Amino acid sequence: MMARLLVLLALMLGLAVLGGLLAGWPGALGGAVAAAVVLILRDSTRLIRLQAWLRRLQLAQMDEMADILAHQEPPRGGMVGEVADRFARLLKLYLRGRQDSQLRLQEMLSAIQASPNGVILLDPEGRIEWCNSTAAQHLGLDAARDLKQYVANLIRDPAFHAYNAAGDFSAEVLVAGRASTPVRPVRLSLQLHPYGEGRRLLLSRDVTLIEQAEAMRRDFVANVSHEMRTPLTVLAGFVETMQTLDLSPQETRRYLDLMSVQSERMQTLVSDLLTLSRLEGSPLPGMSDWVDVRVLMAQCELDARALSSYMGRIEHTMKFEQDQASQLCGIASELQSAFSNLVSNAVRYTPASGRIEVSWRLLEDGRGEFSVSDTGPGISAEHLPRLTERFYRVDRSRSRETGGTGLGLAIVKHVLQRHGAVLNIQSEVGQGSRFAILVPAARVRSGLPEDQLKAA
């Protein structure tokens, strides 16, 4: 500012002296006025250029402002140039800060967009300001179309309306998802969180699997309790009878035999439960251990004939066959458990005069098939999809009579899942059933084990 005044005074003084030398004091006055006019005209030109530059900035969008500042310089020189330069620097700082804020906002929105939970931002009137794709999927919203729409008009569940009207958002509310059907129900957890000046954050969470897991846990505890209660009740009754009555040796022996049957039933149930727990918690089988199918088949036949004799069904016709020597890759004890469970089920549910056929064969695509066919009562089609559920029984009374725990096929399912195999079930009421295990080609190879080949 001081330099500007000194330049102005020097110019006016120089022209005044020059005018005075040429024309006396009128010339000196004219020289000073001429100097002021020159300076005014120059600053006016700069002000016009500054005004045009500011107008361009005023009409430009945010992203265009940075381009104007980079490629269209403000007027230079004099007081106007200094003001324009200071304004340009301040505007650059503002744009840089705004750009950083926009970048952080986009990063935050991207993080929320990737969240597995739905997020909806509501204004003070309850209208949607923004929502992520998860919320749109949960509630059937359109992120673009439904902006500024009242969320209460889009979520029509009565439970949510009551929750929203109550104003107490300390807990969540459960509603049906937009994709929910009677066959495949979808349950959502919704909760509002106030923030800012009257604004609210609506979070949605898919709790279908959690509710299903909780229902399965309740059913599991109830089923285990029910399965344990029956033999315990029988045992307690026999113990009380033996404690209060004077029984003959024959009666005592009969009661002890019945108690032994019930205790064995509980022991089998506990053993199956421990097997399931071990299968769910142990690492997956590798690809280095191989077991001879003949060993598995021989053990299945031994167990089946022993069980048939124990159940008094010595008239069972059993056939075990294997088309060629083969090996399976996996954990031998688990594979034996899966194979034996299918065979024992056939023995338990097939009448004494029935026929049971167990076979192993290699398929053309390299897979192996272990199948168990029987001439039992068969199973209705509506029961087939649920046979591998824990404690699921087609006929509960008959299952208990045969000594089943309701966990055998659940164990089979877990073993097969761990080995990449699948279970196919075919059954017709009155005609019998066929259970087949299909083992992937990567876990099957033909021929004898290496130690047997060397011995041969």
Band of residue 454 on the pLDDT scale cut at 50, 70, 90: very low
What pLDDT shows up at residue 453? Answer: 42
What pLDDT shows up at residue 23? Answer: 56
What pLDDT shows up at residue 419? Answer: 93
DSSP secondary structure letters along 307-360: HHHHTT-TT-EEEEEESS-EEEES-HHHHHHHHHHHHHHHHHHS-TT-EEEEEE
Judge whether residue 18 has pLDDT over 60: no
pTM for the model: 0.57
Percent pLDDT > 70 in the chain is 80
Nearest CA to 339 among 403, 432, 435, 244?
435
Judge whether residue 452 has pLDDT over 60: no
Band of residue 294 on the pLDDT scale cut at 50, 70, 90: very high
What pLDDT shows up at residue 393? Answer: 74
What pLDDT shows up at residue 433? Answer: 93
With both helix axes pointing from N to C terminus, report the angle between 208-244 and 249-281 in degrees, rounded to the nearest 10: 160
What pLDDT shows up at residue 451? Answer: 52
What pLDDT shows up at residue 1? Answer: 46
Domains contained in the chain, CATH given: 2-107 (no CATH), 115-206 (3.30.450.20), 213-282 (1.10.287.130), 284-451 (3.30.565.10)
CB-based contacts of 255: which residues, under 8 Å, 6+ apart? 238, 241, 242, 247
Own/partner pairs, 3-8, CB within 8 angstroms, 24+ separation = 4/78, 4/79, 8/35, 8/36, 8/39
**What's the average model confidence in pLDDT over 388-398?**
71
Judge whether residue 456 has pLDDT over 60: no
- Residue scoring higher pLDDT (101 or 328): 328
Which of 42-56, 273-287, 358-372 bottoms out in mean pLDDT, i.e. has the lowest? 42-56
Indicate the average pLDDT of the chain: 81
CB atoms within 10 A of CB 40: 10
CA pair distance 374, 438, nearest whole angstrom: 18
Summarised one tens digit per residue, pLDDT across range 185-220 is 889 999 999 988 889 999 999 998 888 888 777 877
Summarised one tens digit per residue, pLDDT across range 421-439 is 999 999 989 889 999 999 9
Judge whether residue 20 has pLDDT over 70: no
Distances in Å between the alpha carbon of 238 and those of 246, 251, 260? 13, 11, 11
Own/partner pairs, 402-405, CB within 8 angstroms, 24+ separation = 402/311, 402/348, 402/349, 403/265, 403/268, 403/348, 404/345, 404/348, 405/227, 405/265, 405/268, 405/269, 405/272
Strand spans (E) along 363-421: 368-374
Distances in Å between the alpha carbon of 455 and those of 11, 321, 446, 450, 452? 119, 24, 17, 9, 5
Own/partner pairs, 289-292, CB within 8 angstroms, 24+ separation = 289/329, 289/330, 289/331, 289/332, 290/327, 290/328, 290/329, 290/445, 290/449, 291/327, 291/328, 291/330, 291/332, 291/335, 292/325, 292/326, 292/327, 292/448, 292/449, 292/452
What pLDDT shows up at residue 200? Answer: 92
Q: Which two tokens stand for residue 4?
A: 């500007």
Q: Are 116 and 134 in contact (CB under 8 A)?
A: yes
User: Which range in 180-184, 208-212, 253-257, 288-292 is most confidently predicted, on average pLDDT?
Assistant: 288-292
What pLDDT shows up at residue 438? Answer: 95
What pLDDT shows up at residue 8? Answer: 56
What pLDDT shows up at residue 90? Answer: 79
**What's the average model confidence in pLDDT over 52-74?**
67
Question: Is 122 in a helix, a strand, or coil?
Answer: strand
Distances in Å between the alpha carbon of 65 and those of 86, 94, 100, 126, 280? 16, 11, 15, 35, 62
Judge whether residue 44 has pLDDT over 60: yes
Nearest CA to 138 among 179, 168, 174, 108?
179
What count of residues does the chain have?
456
Amino acid at 195: Y
Band of residue 178 on the pLDDT scale cut at 50, 70, 90: confident
Summarised one tens digit per residue, pLDDT across range 67-125 is 666 666 666 666 666 777 777 777 777 777 777 777 887 887 788 888 889 999 999 99
